[in-house]
């Protein structure tokens, strides 16, 4: 009798799954197309959003074999979210084509699930191929909702970047997941087309709001934090996450941050980095939303970076284009220069012939900075 009821139950579950594939409330759409984020030396994470919750997968062919990698945790495919994250080995994605896909999942019961439509993206031809030299890095920080001005400034850069340094304060707060999807994800896709690796560094404004504590769940850095290292051909990079710009007891944070502990943990991680890891890097660059770190809440974060022979720190936060000479020079990449007159600036860094060229152009076509240093 048990097997009879099991069979009947299975029949109705299968019938329900077929029916729900055609029901309007079981449809699903890709609402934000995919972004490929740098996460470390060995892997990327691909992130996209769908109109309703469901599963997520990435599909590509590698060495003649079709691969399907799922958004899963410890073997269980996630179905309870509209934002999907799939971790992919770098060597399998570089120079390869991929699609993302999702299926509507109404609810996953103990012994069945109600499922609906499956949707797949177009095929993206991903780059990420590590060149030997002449690496172009588009630097974007502090958009702060000035997307229109940002895209205008990009019209003055004619060369396609190999990497996008996406250096924080894309939004001014992260109170909801929609702000993450509609700004951080969507802008990253529009900038990269899903085909250029994006190096995300967290801005201090992205630590603000109800959703901010969940942001890390949608990345897959090797440290499980927002700071990490990665290599791209001759580029050896450190990505930092210096946190908020005021003391933890500042009224704006409502007593709900503990950056004092986080900074200590972060500083210890920088100190633990081994110089030998960076020995092969022809260009050694630090990416940090907040790039002025010589007295970061009483501590000189630049000293361990100097010990690693880093060439340059690049970041935003100060809403200006500037270059500061020193043992470890700083490049401020622009961003929201002036919201009153609508001035916004992007930068391109070119790593070539042992030199680092920095070029900043605003949305009126003015060159704000044109500087070359030896690496």
Q: Which residues bind Fe ion (CB under 5 A)?
A: 169, 203-204, 317
DSSP 45-70: EEEEEEEEEE--EEEEEETTEEEEEE
Which residue in this structure is represented by tokens 């030199």? 355
Assess contact for 344 and 334: CB atoms under 8 A: yes
Cα 222 from Cα 244, distance rounded (Å): 22
Our CB check for Fe ion shows the closer of 203 and 291 to be 203
Q: Which residues contact 289 (CB under 8 A, 6 or more apart)?
A: 141, 167, 168, 169, 201, 202, 203, 204, 241, 242, 315, 316, 317
Q: How far is the CB of 162 from Fe ion (least distance, A)?
A: 25
Give the CB-nearest residue to Fe ion: 317
Pick from 152, 143, 220, 124: nearest CA to 188: 143
Compute the least distance from the CB of residue 232 to Fe ion, in Å. Answer: 25
Smallest distance from the beta carbon of 355 to Fe ion, in angstroms? 29
CA distance 237 to 165: 11
Query: Would you say 171 or 302 has its CB closer to Fe ion?
Result: 171
CB of 293 to Fe ion, least distance (A): 13
Q: Of 20 and 204, which CB lies nearer to Fe ion in the complex structure?
A: 204
User: For residues 117 and 204, which CB has a smaller minimum distance to Fe ion in the complex?
Assistant: 204
Query: What is the spatial distance between Cα 358 and Cα 349, in angstroms, rounded to a whole number?
Result: 5
* Min dist. Cβ of residue 52 to Fe ion (A): 33
Give the nearer residue to Fe ion in terms of CB position, either 170 or 328.
170
């Amino acid at each position: 009798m048990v097997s009879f009821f099991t069979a009947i139950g299975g029949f109705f579950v299968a019938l329900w799954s077929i029916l729900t594939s055609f029901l309007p409330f079981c449809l699903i759409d890709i609402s934000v197309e995919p972004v490929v984020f740098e996460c470390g030396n060995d892997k990327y994470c691909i992130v996209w959003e769908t109109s309703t919750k469901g599963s997520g997968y990435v599909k590509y062919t590698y060495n003649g074999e079709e691969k399907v990698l799922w958004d899963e945790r410890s073997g269980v495919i996630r179905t309870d979210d509209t934002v999907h994250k799939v971790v992919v080995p770098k060597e399998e994605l570089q120079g390869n084509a991929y699609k993302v896909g999702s299926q509507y999942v109404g609810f996953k019961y103990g012994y069945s699930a109600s499922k609906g439509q499956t949707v797949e993206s177009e095929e993206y031809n991903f780059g990420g191929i590590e060149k030997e030299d002449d690496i172009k890095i588009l630097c974007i920080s502090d958009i702060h909702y000035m997307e229109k001005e940002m895209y205008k400034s990009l019209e003055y850069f004619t060369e396609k970047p190999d990497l996008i340094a996406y250096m924080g304060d894309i939004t001014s707060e992260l109170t909801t997941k929609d702000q993450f999807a509609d700004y951080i994800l969507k802008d990253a896709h529009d900038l990269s087309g899903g085909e250029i690796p994006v190096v995300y560094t967290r801005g201090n404004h992205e630590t603000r709001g109800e959703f901010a504590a969940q942001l890390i769940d949608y990345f897959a850095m090797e440290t499980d934090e927002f700071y990490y290292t990665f290599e791209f051909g001759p580029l050896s990079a450190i990505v930092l996450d210096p946190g908020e710009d005021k003391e933890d007891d500042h009224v704006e944070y409502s007593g709900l941050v503990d950056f004092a502990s986080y900074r200590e943990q972060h500083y210890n991680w920088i100190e633990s980095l081994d110089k030998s890891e960076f020995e092969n890097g022809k260009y050694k660059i630090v990416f940090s939303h907040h790039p002025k770190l010589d007295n970061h809440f009483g501590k000189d974060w630049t000293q361990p970076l100097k010990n690693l022979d880093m060439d340059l720190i690049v970041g935003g936060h100060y809403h200006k284009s500037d270059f500061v000479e020193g043992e470890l020079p700083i490049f401020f990449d622009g961003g929201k220069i002036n919201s009153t007159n609508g001035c916004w600036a992007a930068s391109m860094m070119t790593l070539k012939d042992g030199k680092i060229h920095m070029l900043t152009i605003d949305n009126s076509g003015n060159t704000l900075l044109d500087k070359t240093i030896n690496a």
